[in-house]
Amino acid sequence: MHHYQGRTRTRVRIPLVVALLILTLSSAACHKNVIVPIPGQINTFDGTSYRYLMDAQAALNSVRDDAANDKIKLDDTSKSLLNNAIASYNVAQDAWHAYHSGATIDTAGLQSAISAMVRDVNNLITRIASSKVTGGGN
Amino acid sequence: MNLALLLASLASAIIQDLPGISSTIKQIIADIAGSLRAVVGSGIVHQVTPLNVYMALDGVLSQLIQDPNLPQAKLEVVASLLDAVQAAIAADKQAQEGMDPDKIKPIEPLP
């Protein structure tokens, strides 16, 4: 009886997780036009670029630390992809600092640098999720 | 670049390369990826924000890491990905509170 109830709860819980995620995404869709400015931004593009850089920096540092501490084992290709992503991030953060400080108004250059960074982070994450990367204990 | 592709490519990679995971988890990942594609393709939105994608990834990886069929080697990789996604979520929330240019720093390459 209890075993059956436990299985029932499990069957209910998993679709519930999916439903909540769909609701989260749908909710985000409804509020798409509401862009909350970040205090200190010079314009929306500046603020969006700052968020991308903060996110990428945190994710890259996390992966880099895990690799440096042997929590995950990167093969040569994966390590190269990590360093490519780091290099792209470094270019983008230089471009953002120049833009944010007013040293340049080159939005196209910053946009291009951010796009390259996102592409390289995407390539890295896809590689890590593949079978080419294993845990450090293996 | 549409960030929804990040989720789609990651979900595809996980499904393709982890044949040992349960059909339930595979279905969850497929449902979430499909839902995201539907939201993006509905015309309601032009762009899904990075935070929404990270939150969806967090949900996928949090479910995946609980799968008892996940090999230990992959468990550590998924845990590392989950750490990275959660770090990005925390950073994104912090970024929205206010700009601090000093927080945007260069990263040393892995030797």
- pLDDT tens per residue, range A44-92: 999 999 998 998 999 899 999 999 999 888 889 999 999 999 999 999 9
Tell me what pLDDT residue A26 has: 44
CB-CB neighbors (< 8 A) of B15 in chain A: none
Interchain pair B106, A90: CB under 8 A: yes
CB contact under 8 A, B76 and A47: no
State the burial class of residue B54 (Cβ atoms within 10 Å of its Cβ: 0-12, 13-18, 19+). buried
The Cβ of residue B84 has, within 10 Å, a number of other Cβ atoms equal to 27
Given this model, what pLDDT does residue A24 score?
44
Decide if A60 and B107 are in contact by the 8 Å CB cutoff.
yes
- How much is the pLDDT for B50? 64
* Chain B interface, best mutation among A57, A64, A120, A127, by max B CB count within 10 A: A57
Q: How many Å apart are CA A10 and CA B43, to the nearest integer?
A: 34
d(CA A87, CA A82): 9
Enter the pTM of the model.
Answer: 0.73
Distance from CA of A67 to the nearest CA of B (A): 8
d(CA B47, CA B99): 22
Contact of B21 with chain A, judged by CB distance below 8 Å, is answered with no
Provide mean pLDDT across the span A122-131: 76
Confidence of residue A2 (pLDDT cuts 50, 70, 90): very low
- Residue A128 neighbours by CB under 8 Å, 6+ apart: A63, A72, A74, A78, B77, B80, B81
Please state, in angstroms and rounded to a whole number, the distance separating the CA atoms of residues A138 and A121. Answer: 25
Quick one: pLDDT band at residue B14, thresholds 50, 70, 90? low
| A98: closest chain B residue by CA | B101
**3-state class (DSSP) for residue A73:** strand
User: What DSSP character marks residue B69?
Assistant: T
Q: At A48, is the secondary structure helix, strand, or coil? A: helix
Return the residue of A nearest to B5 by Cα.
A122
